[in-house]
Amino acid sequence: METKLPLIQVKDLSKHYREDLVLKKVSVHIEEGDLVSIIGPSGCGKSTFLRCLNGMEILDSGSIQIDGVTLSRRHPGERLGAKFHKKAHDLRQRVGMVFQSFNLFPHKTLLQNVMMAPMIVQNKSVEEAEFVALKFLDKVGLKQFSDRYPAYLSGGQQQRGAIARALALSPKVMLYDEPTSAIDPARVNEVLDVMRDLDKEGMTQIIVTHEMRFAKDASDYIIYMEQGEFIEISDEDEIFISPKDERTRRFLKNFI
């Protein structure tokens, strides 16, 4: 019988900035369809981990495999050739990323924002790009706002627009870096609901979040990070009731 490989395999991933080792040989396997939350104190390396996964940052050493594309490096001094950069490009095609600050282009309408990448990156025609964009705007409940400029949308709506924009490139994995931190608390749920819906449809998602309730309710499991290490990878219920590591317990104490 054929055994299916995990969609994402990270092995001994390390990354430093100047003299700081920000990721210290982290490893994890993530199966297709999983929703994984990453929690941990400020500066522990959560955003750096996501940026390495989508090829925005180049790893020092270790390997990242997503949907059959492997980026690997033996040591930080290893020269990276055209082949490596081609693979980093291929990796980016498979990964959608959503940031805390939405990053929609202010001078373009919501529809234009979502249409842009499929036209530029995937050479889609205007008609095709518009079709795809409207499909995903509909999915996140924003079709009726297609012609609005970002300034005339709430934070929650802009973030749903940013999710539609990432989805329009048909990623295999969605990464979210604190997607609800800049949103009015009353509108946080509309963004989390989009992620819940995507989970039901089988999308693989990794979310860096301070929304402990969402992490607990929606995740398949939670990664607790501290000082560049994955301290604990635990079941979403288990980690709150009986964390395996004292450091996890100390961190979570502030939330319960």
Binding-site ranges for ligand ATP (CB under 6 A): 17, 20, 22, 42-48
Q: Which is nearer to ligand ATP, 39 or 153 (CB)?
A: 39
**Residue 236: CB partners within 8 Å, gap ≥ 6?**
37, 215, 216, 217, 219, 220, 221, 222
Residue 1 binds which one of Mg ion, ligand ATP, none, with CB within 5 to 8 A depending on kind? none
Instruction: Report in angstroms how near the CB of residue 5 gets to ligand ATP at its nearest.
Output: 27
Instruction: Report in angstroms how near the CB of residue 207 gets to Mg ion at its nearest.
Output: 12
Of 67, 56, 46, residue with least CA distance to 89: 56
Instruction: Report in angstroms how near the CB of residue 88 gets to ligand ATP at its nearest.
Output: 17
Q: Which is nearer to ligand ATP, 63 or 100 (CB)?
A: 100
Q: Which is nearer to ligand ATP, 15 or 124 (CB)?
A: 15
Instruction: Report in angstroms how near the CB of residue 178 gets to ligand ATP at its nearest.
Output: 7
Instruction: Report in angstroms how near the CB of residue 47 gets to Mg ion at its nearest.
Output: 3
CB of 96 closer than 8 Å to CB of 169: yes
Q: Which is nearer to Mg ion, 47 or 65 (CB)?
A: 47
Residue 45 binds which one of ligand ATP, Mg ion, none, with CB within 5 to 8 A depending on kind? ligand ATP
Instruction: Report in angstroms how near the CB of residue 195 gets to ligand ATP at its nearest.
Output: 19
Q: What are the residues binding Mg ion (CB under 5 A)? A: 47
Residue 42 binds which one of Mg ion, ligand ATP, none, with CB within 5 to 8 A depending on kind? ligand ATP
Instruction: Report in angstroms how near the CB of residue 45 gets to Mg ion at its nearest.
Output: 8
Q: Which is nearer to ligand ATP, 44 or 198 (CB)?
A: 44
Angle, CA of 10, 206 and 131, to the nearest 5°: 115
Q: Which is nearer to ligand ATP, 49 or 240 (CB)?
A: 49
Q: Which is nearer to ligand ATP, 44 or 132 (CB)?
A: 44
- Rounded CA gap, 207 and 81, in Å? 31
Q: What order of strands is seen across the sheet that includes strand 61-66? A: 20-30, 8-17, 61-66, 69-73
CB of 135 closer than 8 Å to CB of 170: no
Residue 144 binds which one of Mg ion, ligand ATP, none, with CB within 5 to 8 A depending on kind? none
Residue 22 binds which one of Mg ion, ligand ATP, none, with CB within 5 to 8 A depending on kind? ligand ATP
CB of 166 closer than 8 Å to CB of 185: no
